[in-house]
């Protein structure tokens, strides 16, 4: 019998983790070896358990999924991470893939796609939800590039936290960097997105689907 694919689930909602675990445990080829409720825990757990695939949500309190992906791949460059997110807009998908995630699956398209996506990612191949793949193709055809896609992963994460109303000191503590560094990033973000005020930043984030209205 071939070796089972070992999986760690990362989501701050226990109900979501339980639902995904149930779906996976119906498949003889998967084994869920751990669960984490935060980016910090995910980073620690990856080092301890070395799963074949980590299934990761992006929107979590504290260090979000993008920052966790960045840190995990800096330390474990062969890590295979499948993002499982409610975000259907391209900004999150682009950032996750730019960081090195191997797949992006939208939560409302679970079921058959979950099995297929984990199998694909476990082989080191890329898997995208149909919806995301179509949007990427349309963007490529139109040639239009939203400035938000030009943000680096770190800039995007700070942009998201600012849009959610976090103060500079709180963002610095969350990301383990200095307040001065966060301020510098804030300036660069505003320049790249051609915005001047915090209100404009929040409006931009809502329009881009980074935060909900």
Residue 150: per-residue pLDDT: 86
Q: What is the pLDDT of residue 74?
A: 94
CATH number at 112 reads 3.40.50.2300
Give 22's Cβ-side CA count (13 Å radius): 8
Dist CA 207 CA 213 (whole Å): 9
Q: Exposure of 131 by Cβ count < 10 A (0-12 exposed, 13-18 middle, 19+ buried)?
A: middle
One digit per residue, the tens of pLDDT, for the chain of length 213 reads: 468 999 999 999 999 999 999 999 898 899 999 999 999 999 999 999 999 999 999 988 878 899 999 999 999 999 999 999 988 888 899 999 999 999 999 987 767 789 999 999 999 999 999 989 988 888 778 766 778 888 988 899 999 999 999 999 999 998 889 999 999 999 999 999 999 999 999 999 998 888 876
Domain boundary among 141, 163, 178: 141
> Which pLDDT belongs to residue 171?
93
Q: Is residue 173 within 8 Å of residue 181, measured between CB atoms?
A: no
Structural domain for 20, as ranges: 5-141
Instruction: Give the chain's length.
Output: 213
Is 57 among the domain residues? yes
**CA dist list (Å): 115 to 9, 24, 26, 35:** 14, 7, 10, 18
Q: Let me know if residue 186 belongs to a domain.
A: yes
């Amino acid at each position: 019998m071939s070796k089972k694919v070992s999986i760690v689930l990362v989501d701050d909602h226990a109900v979501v983790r339980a639902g995904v675990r149930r779906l996976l445990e119906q498949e003889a080829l998967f084994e869920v070896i751990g669960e984490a409720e935060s980016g910090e825990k995910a980073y620690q757990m990856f080092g301890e358990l070395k799963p074949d695939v980590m299934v990761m949500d992006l929107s979590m309190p504290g260090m979000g999924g993008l920052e966790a992906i960045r840190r995990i791949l800096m330390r474990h460059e062969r890590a295979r991470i499948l993002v499982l997110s409610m975000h259907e807009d391209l900004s999150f998908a682009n950032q996750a893939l730019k960081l090195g995630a191997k797949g992006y699956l939208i939560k409302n398209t679970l079921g058959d796609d979950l099995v297929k996506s984990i199998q694909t990612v476990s082989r080191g191949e890329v898997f995208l939800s149909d919806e995301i793949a179509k949007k990427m193709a349309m963007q490529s055809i139109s040639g239009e590039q939203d400035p938000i896609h030009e943000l680096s992963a770190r800039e995007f994460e700070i942009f998201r936290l600012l849009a959610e109303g976090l103060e500079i000191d709180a963002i610095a503590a969350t990301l383990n960097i200095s307040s001065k560094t966060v301020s510098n990033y804030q300036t660069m973000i505003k320049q790249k997105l051609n915005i001047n005020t915090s209100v404009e930043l929040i409006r931009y984030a809502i329009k881009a689907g980074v935060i909900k209205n």
